[in-house]
Structures are given as C-alpha cells and as structure tokens.
Amino acid sequence: MKILNVNTAVTTIEGAPQMVEKHRSEWTAEDKKKANLDNVAKDILYKTLDKNMFAKIKTCTTSKEIWEKLIQLCEGNDQKKENKLTVAIQKFDNAKIKPGETLTEFDERFSGIIIELISLGKYYSNREIVLRVMRALPREWDVKTIAMRESKDLNKLELHDLFTDLKAYEFELEI
C-alpha cells in the first residue's frame, strides 16, 4: 500500500493536485495503521490457501495483486467459465450412483455437483434435481421412486429431504 501526499508545488493539466508517495519517516500513526492493513489482508489470504495455490501467488506483493491472481486462477476468463459450466452440466446430466456407493456418498458427490453449478450461475428447479437423483438410482429403487413421484410434490421436495427418505429406505432394504 502506498501512502500518498499532495504535492502542492505542482498541479496537473486538469487542475487537480499531483499526488506523491509519502516517505516512511513522514508517516503518521494513522498512515502506519493503513499501511498495515495490506499486511493483515495478505496474512489472511496466505492462511486460507493450500500449498499448491500459495505457490501460484507467492510472487504477488500486495493483497490486491493476490486477490486478482486468485480470481484469475479460480474463475478464469469467460471461455474458462463456459467450459467449467459445460463440464458441470454434463456431470449433472450423467450422474449415476456407482456400484458399491452408499447413498451418503452419492449425496455428498451429487450435492457437490449442485454447489458447483450454482457457483457457475446455473440453477435447476427442485423438481429437476429430484428427478435427476431418482433417475440416478439403480432399477431396484424403481418401486420407491415411483411411489415418491405419486405421493410427493416434487416442486417442493428439497434435496436434503429426498436423500433422508432414500436413506431410510436404504436402511430398510439392508434389514
């Protein structure tokens, strides 16, 4: 962070005062406090990054540079965002419970896909999400999913509630 001072000896063409960097020996307590904010922000950012991400930003000198680099790395340009969205939509469309995967594991994996889609600006209705989960289940679950389709309002059924019902049914199957 640069602490600036007004240079009263020179004005710009527009008539605005010219700003020059204030020497450290001239800093007031308030200036020191402001300058330390960048160090605090950098410290917070450093503590939240894993080793891999830290290696990518360690050459940045200010918290603003770090933040801009993180945005570039995580969000990328429009093309990168579009590619991420396409992949996330494909994950959603092709979601199937894997052989040997528990409903709890599938719940975590599928919820991760939903979170990724939301972070990329893609939203599905409760009905679309619930139907996608029901289609992801193996044939042995058809009786349960058909019963749920007929007895519940899929527009109001939340993902959490769906998985709670399915986990209860899974438990009954194992008995």
**3-state SS, one letter per residue, for 89-143:** HHHHHCCCCCCCCCHHHHHHHHHHHHHHHHHCCCCCCHHHHHHHHHHHCCHHHHH
Confidence band, pLDDT 50/70/90 cuts, at residue 78: confident
Together in a domain, 53 and 84: no
What's the whole-model pTM score?
Answer: 0.60
Specify the number of domains making up the chain.
Answer: 2
Q: From 74, 95, 115, give the residue that closes a domain.
A: 74
Domain span at 165: 78-174
Together in a domain, 82 and 162: yes
Confidence band, pLDDT 50/70/90 cuts, at residue 51: very high
Together in a domain, 94 and 169: yes
Together in a domain, 83 and 169: yes
Q: From 46, 74, 102, give the residue that closes a domain.
A: 74
Pseudo-torsion of CA 87, 90, 91, 93, nearest 10°? 160
Average pLDDT over residues 100-118: 94
Together in a domain, 55 and 111: no
Together in a domain, 110 and 168: yes
Confidence band, pLDDT 50/70/90 cuts, at residue 28: confident
Together in a domain, 117 and 88: yes
Q: Rounded to an integer, what distance in angstroms lies between the CA atom of residue 33 and that of residue 35?
A: 5
Together in a domain, 54 and 86: no
Q: Is the pLDDT of residue 126 over 60?
A: yes
Together in a domain, 102 and 66: no
Q: From 51, 74, 97, give the residue that closes a domain.
A: 74
Together in a domain, 64 and 23: yes
What's the pLDDT tens digit per position in 3-14? 777 776 665 566
Q: Rounded to an integer, what distance in angstroms lies between the CA atom of residue 85 and that of residue 91?
A: 10
The pLDDT value recorded for residue 10 is 64
